Chains A and B, each alone.
Chain A
Amino acid sequence: MNNEKETAVANNSDKPYSRTTRSSGSRRGKFNIVDFFLLLIVLAIVAAVVIYLIPGASKRLTATDETGITFTIEFRGVDSAFVTNIKNGETVYDSNKNYKLGNVKSVENYAYTELVYNEETGVSEMKEIPELKNLVVTVTANAIYTDGEGYSINGDRIAVGRQYNISFPHFSGSAYCIELSAVSD
Chain B
Amino acid sequence: MSMTQQTEARSKRRFNIIDVFIIVLVLLCVLGVYFRGQIAEWIGVEKKVEEYQITFEISEIRYTSSKYFYTGSNVYLDSGNINIGTIEGNCTVLPAEAYVVGPDGAPILTNYPKDTYVDIVGNIKCMGIEKEEGFYLNGTYALAPGSCINVHTEMLNFSMTITEIAKISK
Contact = CB atoms under 8 A, between A and B. Distances in A.
B107 to A, nearest CB: 10
Most buried by B among A12, A27, A34: A34
Given A33-B13, A148-B74, A160 B80 contact: no
Interface in B142-170: 152-158
Tell me the dominant secondary structure on chain B's binding face.
Answer: mixed
Given A24-B8, A56-B81, A124-B111, A34 B157 contact: no
Contacts of A126: 112-113, 116
A119 to B, nearest CB: 5
Interface string A166-185: 00000000001011100000
Interface residues of A, number: 43
B156 A20 contact: no
A159 B156 contact: yes
Interface in A132-185: 148-150, 157, 159-162, 176, 178-180
Nearest to B34: A52
Contacts, number: 103
Given A48-B30, A161-B157, 16 more contacts: A5-B4, A8-B2, A20-B4, A20-B5, A115-B98, A116-B100, A116-B101, A124-B100, A124-B110, A126-B112, A148-B154, A159-B154, A159-B157, A160-B68, A160-B155, A179-B64
Interface of B: 2-5, 8-9, 12-13, 15, 19, 22-23, 26-27, 30, 33-34, 61-62, 64-65, 68, 74, 76, 80-83, 98, 100-103, 108, 110-113, 116, 152-158
Interface of A: 5, 8-9, 12, 20, 23-24, 27-28, 32-34, 38, 41-42, 45, 48-49, 52-53, 55-56, 113, 115-117, 119, 123-126, 148-150, 157, 159-162, 176, 178-180
